[in-house]
Amino acid sequence: MAYNIEQTDAQLLGTTAAIRYRLTFPQAAQHLVNVEMEVDTEAGELTLALPNWIPGSYKVRDFISNQGDLQVAAPDGTLLTPEWSSKNRFTVQVPTAGTVRASWNWYGNERSVRLSHINRFHAFINPANVMMYVQGRTQEVHHVEIHNPWSQISTPLSPVRTGVWGALNYDILVDSPMELGDHFVASFQLHGATHEVAVIGAGDFDHEWIVDQCKIIVDTAVKLWGRLPYDRYVFINQLLSGLYGGLEHSRCSVNIFDSEIFNDSDRAVKFLGLLCHEYFHLWNVKRIRPIEFGPFDYDREIYSSMLWLAEGCTSYYDDLMTYRCGFYTRGEYLRTLSSDHLATLMAIPGRKAMSIKDSSFLAWVKLYVPTPDQNNRQVSYYLKGGVIFLLLDLLIISESNGAATMDDGLRALMARYEANPAVGLTEDEFIQIVSQATGVEIGTHLRGWLASTDELPLAEYLGRFGLEWKRSIATSEPQNFGESLPYQRPFPATWGGLQVEEIKTGLKVSRVIRDSPAERAGLGADDEVLALNGVRVGSSKQWDAVYRGVLLSGKPMEIIAATEGRVYQATMQPEERVVWELTRKPEPTEQEQRLMDIWLAR
């Protein structure tokens, strides 16, 4: 059977399933969910396995590590002995036809969009973590009976009957998280579909305001795509102190955001940007996707050099959609584009060390395995991919003289999905479809940007839209106090290329940037910092104060540090700090202004 992620609630009503799960929570306070699995089967071998990773998060996470108390019983109740063939897979010999029953507990005590979390007040269940599959039978209907000790269930799984939800296949089950608890839930109808908004957490946020912004996001997306690809969609919003994350699903998104930012509208807009990002994914990556992404092998890595499409395109469009929703003014959007995308990319030395295609392919061992040296040797396909899609949009608009935009390419890509939903895209097919839809040949430019580590032609393309992308040397502005009296001399706007952080014994170097004064001075990550220019520094505040004082003196930085207990001295001379800024030309031409208005039309 062909790969399929599409499902409507009507398709599951009244269905039966030969693979069934029952979730209960007798030990929720101990972070446990109890899973009972029933499989109607013939006599012979039966193999069960638990995924090692979850789509949308490209790292092997070995969910089996949290499973315990496994038991498997034959149709007559006799316990069977699992024969493990790998870390996440076992086989039992079933003596007669009938229903095999397996049960286990799964421990969930980490807050993440990728993992399940259970406590006495709620349960967030990611089926990929918790629910084993039957080898060779993933295309069958799966039912989940939920014994919910709380009042609410928010899930894209479809109701079958009271207390039972279902999925047409295991891929859809894996793609359908569940939030159980006593949380806020609201729903609305828009563009022929039902939308549910779940808000979990406590804080000074206005639940109804969040619902209203979700309506705007849906309405704005329809203006781009034309219609919605679902009958029901669930926004699961977990607002928790100090946390952040998002994960896309075909009929749902899970969004974790800091609950303490809602008294600041500027920071709250970042939450809306996260909602835009994950919602955009239900088209791009769930449906418009690299050819490797579905059907999935849940046992091992799925390598693709096209995460620039999956995440890069979405990273460009998330802030653009935030702007189109009206959450940013035009000026705010351009400032965000400048600081969060373009300038951030220019501050990553790894942009010159690894192509975005390699960054995509090696995501399993690079982006999701961070080190202090990460930005020196690689570049994120989110970040550079977003900038490449900015350039693609600007290329299409300018070369078509405003007759087409990247939006036209996206709609053509979605039409390709609808014509052949079982098979994803190759790079060549992406180029062919977008070029044909927009009338602009993008292949030569895009292939170069994807394969090369050369600097991207930002100034050239932004210039066509009345914008300047400029490099300059940072300066320090003088400060006044009282009756406009000059305050002490401003500290020089310099750059050392290292970061320090506090540890129990004092300070350590947390990061050294490639080709920086700190690197040339011989400093390394995890070195303990003892003194700066003869002054003992044991905290970040002390470091900052002494560092600024040395800057005012004009002397080099004399740093006493230690590596594994052995003390050494390093001399560092900070350099002028380079800044990048996106500004409007003082006098853009009429054509440049016209293209700008087309690009940033709402």
CB 72 within 8 A of CB 59: no
Q: Are residue 132 and residue 235 in the same domain, yes or no?
A: no
Q: How far apart are CA 23 and CA 36, in angstroms?
A: 7
Q: Are residue 123 and residue 250 in the same domain, yes or no?
A: no
Quote the pLDDT of residue 491: 80
Tell me if 592 is assigned to some domain: no
Q: What is the DSSP string of 526-574?
A: TPEEEEETTEE--SHHHHHHHHHHHHHHTPPEEEEEEETTEEEEEEE--
Quote the pLDDT of residue 89: 98
CB 288 within 8 A of CB 410: yes
Quote the pLDDT of residue 77: 97
Quote the pLDDT of residue 459: 98
Q: Is the dihedral of CA 74, 79, 83, 86 positive or negative?
A: positive
Domain boundary among the residues 228, 247, 282 is at 282
Q: Are residue 375 and residue 419 in the same domain, yes or no?
A: yes
Full domain range(s) for residue 197: 183-282
Q: Tally the C-alpha atoms within 13 A of residue 147's C-alpha that lie toward its C-beta.
A: 12
Using a 10 angstrom Cβ sphere, with 0-12 exposed, 13-18 middle and 19 or more buried, the burial of residue 135 is middle
**Token duo for residue 333:** 């959007």
Query: If you search the block for the tokens 């802030």, which residue do you land on?
Result: 319
Tell me if 97 is assigned to some domain: yes
Tell me if 1 is assigned to some domain: no
Angle at alpha carbon of residue 422, lines to 416 and 428, rounded to 5°:
50
Q: Are residue 254 and residue 176 in the same domain, yes or no?
A: no
Using a 10 angstrom Cβ sphere, with 0-12 exposed, 13-18 middle and 19 or more buried, the burial of residue 388 is buried
Q: How far apart are CA 333 and CA 571, in angstroms?
A: 41
Q: What is the DSSP string of 323-358?
A: HHTTSS-HHHHHHHIIIIIIHHHHT-GGGGTS-HHH
SS3 track for 581-596: EEEECCCCCHHHHHHH
CB 37 within 8 A of CB 132: yes
The average confidence (pLDDT) of the chain is: 96
Helix (H, G, I), strand (E, B) or coil at 298: coil
Domain boundary among the residues 231, 259, 282 is at 282
Q: Strand pairing partners for 532? A: 535, 559
CB 197 within 8 A of CB 272: no
CB 304 within 8 A of CB 292: yes
| CATH code of the domain covering residue 205 | 1.10.390.10
The closest alpha carbon to 156, from 57, 8, 42, belongs to 8
Tell me if 316 is assigned to some domain: yes
Tell me if 601 is assigned to some domain: no
* 132-163 tens-digit pLDDT: 999 999 999 999 999 999 999 999 999 999 99
pTM, 2 dp: 0.95
CB 258 within 8 A of CB 240: yes
pLDDT band of residue 70 (cuts 50, 70, 90) is very high
Angle at alpha carbon of residue 142, lines to 138 and 146, rounded to 5°:
140
Q: What's the DSSP call for residue 310?
A: I
Q: Are residue 144 and residue 259 in the same domain, yes or no?
A: no
Tell me if 227 is assigned to some domain: yes
Other C-beta atoms within 10 Å of 582: how many? 20
Q: What is the mean pLDDT of residues 332-349?
A: 97
Q: Are residue 439 and residue 449 in the same domain, yes or no?
A: yes
Q: How far apart are CA 435 and CA 400, in angstroms?
A: 11
* 414-473 tens-digit pLDDT: 999 999 999 999 999 999 999 999 999 999 999 999 999 999 999 999 999 999 999 999
Helix (H, G, I), strand (E, B) or coil at 267: helix
CB 135 within 8 A of CB 47: yes
**Token duo for residue 22:** 């029952």
Tell me if 581 is assigned to some domain: no
Helix (H, G, I), strand (E, B) or coil at 453: coil
The closest alpha carbon to 142, from 39, 55, 72, belongs to 39
Name the phi and psi angles at 552, rounded to 5: -65, -30
**Token duo for residue 374:** 């990460």
Q: How far is CA 545 from the centre of its chain?
A: 36
Domain count, the chain: 4
Q: Tally the C-alpha atoms within 13 A of residue 309's C-alpha that lie toward its C-beta.
A: 29
Name the phi and psi angles at 481, rounded to 5: -145, 165
| CATH code of the domain covering residue 515 | 2.30.42.10
Domain boundary among the residues 437, 469, 501 is at 469
| CATH code of the domain covering residue 42 | 2.60.40.3650
Q: What is the mean pLDDT of residues 531-536?
A: 96
pLDDT band of residue 489 (cuts 50, 70, 90) is confident
How far is residue 323 from each of residues 272, 384, 466, 469, measured CA to CA in Å?
A: 10, 20, 19, 20
pLDDT greater than 80 at residue 1: no
The closest alpha carbon to 387, from 461, 284, 285, 441, belongs to 461
Q: What is the mean pLDDT of residues 37-55?
A: 98
Q: Are residue 173 and residue 190 in the same domain, yes or no?
A: no
How far is residue 147 from each of residues 34, 128, 150, 407, measured CA to CA in Å?
A: 10, 19, 9, 44
Other C-beta atoms within 10 Å of 59: how many? 16
Q: How far apart are the first and last CA of the chain?
A: 41
Q: What is the mean pLDDT of residues 32-54?
A: 98
Query: If you search the block for the tokens 């498997």, which residue do you land on?
Result: 72
Quote the pLDDT of residue 477: 86
Q: Are residue 134 and residue 42 in the same domain, yes or no?
A: yes
* 348-403 tens-digit pLDDT: 999 999 999 999 999 999 998 989 999 999 999 999 999 999 999 999 999 999 99
Quote the pLDDT of residue 476: 86
Tell me if 586 is assigned to some domain: no
How far is residue 444 from each of residues 215, 379, 428, measured CA to CA in Å?
A: 39, 22, 11
**Token duo for residue 321:** 């959609």
Q: Are residue 529 and residue 461 in the same domain, yes or no?
A: no
Peptide bond into 478 cis (omega under 30): no
Q: Are residue 104 and residue 23 in the same domain, yes or no?
A: yes
Q: Are residue 443 and residue 465 in the same domain, yes or no?
A: yes
Q: Are residue 174 and residue 188 in the same domain, yes or no?
A: no
Q: What is the mean pLDDT of residues 235-256?
A: 97
